[in-house]
Structure 1
Amino acid sequence: MDAERISIAKACQEGAHDNSLSFPEFVGKLIAAGFEGYTVDYRRNAQAFYLPDGDSVVLEMHPYAGSVAANFDAAEVERLVRWAQANPADYSYVAFCEKAKAAGCAGYLVSFLGRRVVYFGRTAETHVEHFPK
């Protein structure tokens, strides 16, 4: 992957972490750079960004407190997504990640093509969220 796209992925990752980019802004920048999606893996503490030609880059993420709970609570993950979408004053991506891990979310796959996010637990249970229109 070329250095410019890696730089964009890193900037988006940092923007999410420090709340300088909203999810729509984050997605918009990645799409504009030609990415078709990404994966967050809380167990590996890594994020992979994918191009349509199969090329990808894996970046380490900031460590988020806590471990991934054994049981996946889809209702809690859905509540966390609604919290993020509302973007209240107490929202932060760091808090979202920590709460998602506590709800048993081991990671998530974002598909720009499919306009959805698939959250998954350690036992491969899933919760699917479609992008808002």
Structure 2
Amino acid sequence: MDERLAAIAARCLDDAETGAASFPQIVGRLIEAGFESYAIDYRRSTATYYLPDGDSVVLSTPRHAIAIGGPFDVGALRAAIREAQQQVPGYTYGGFCAKAMAAGCVGYVVSFPGRRAVYSGRTAETHVEQFPQ
């Protein structure tokens, strides 16, 4: 992958983790750069950013101290998503990740053209979250 695009992906990941940019701001930057999706894998502690031609860059993410929960608790996951969308006081991306993992989420894929995120559990359960309008 082009070094400039890899740097944009890395900056977006860092901005999410530090709270320097919101999800809509990060998505806008990634779309503007030409990315079509990204995937977060909590088990491997990676973020993969994809271009439409199949090229990708894999970046390391912080390993969270929390273990991934057993059953996929969609209600708890939805609550974490709502906190993120509403930017509740004290919200952090790391906190969101910890709550998603505790809810049994092993990772998620964000599709920009599909305007959705698909969250997965250990036994391939899924929850689809449409982007807010």
**TM class by shorter-chain length?**
over 0.9
Structure 2 SS opposite 1:7: helix
CA distance in 2, matches of 1:52, 1:39: 14
Matched, 1:53 2:64: no
Q: Deviations over 1:74-125 (max 9, x none)?
A: 1111111111001022100010001110110000000001000000001110
Q: Which has the higher mean CA deviation after the structures are superposed, 101-110 or 59-68?
A: 59-68
TM-score normalised by structure 1 residue count? 0.98
Matched, 1:18 2:22: no
Other-structure match for 1:70: 70
CA distance in 1, matches of 2:65, 2:93: 12
TM-score normalised by structure 2 residue count? 0.98
Other-structure match for 2:29: 29
Structure 1 SS opposite 2:30: helix
CA distance in 2, matches of 1:18, 1:9: 14
RMSD: 0.6
Aligned length: 133
Q: Determine what percentage of the aligned residue pairs are the same residue.
A: 52
In structure 2, the gaps of 5 or more residues are none
- Equivalent residue letter for 1:22: S
Following TM superposition, by how much is the alpha carbon of 1:65 offset from its aligned partner in structure 2, in angstroms? 2.0
In structure 1, the gaps of 5 or more residues are none
CA distance in 2, matches of 1:65, 1:16: 18
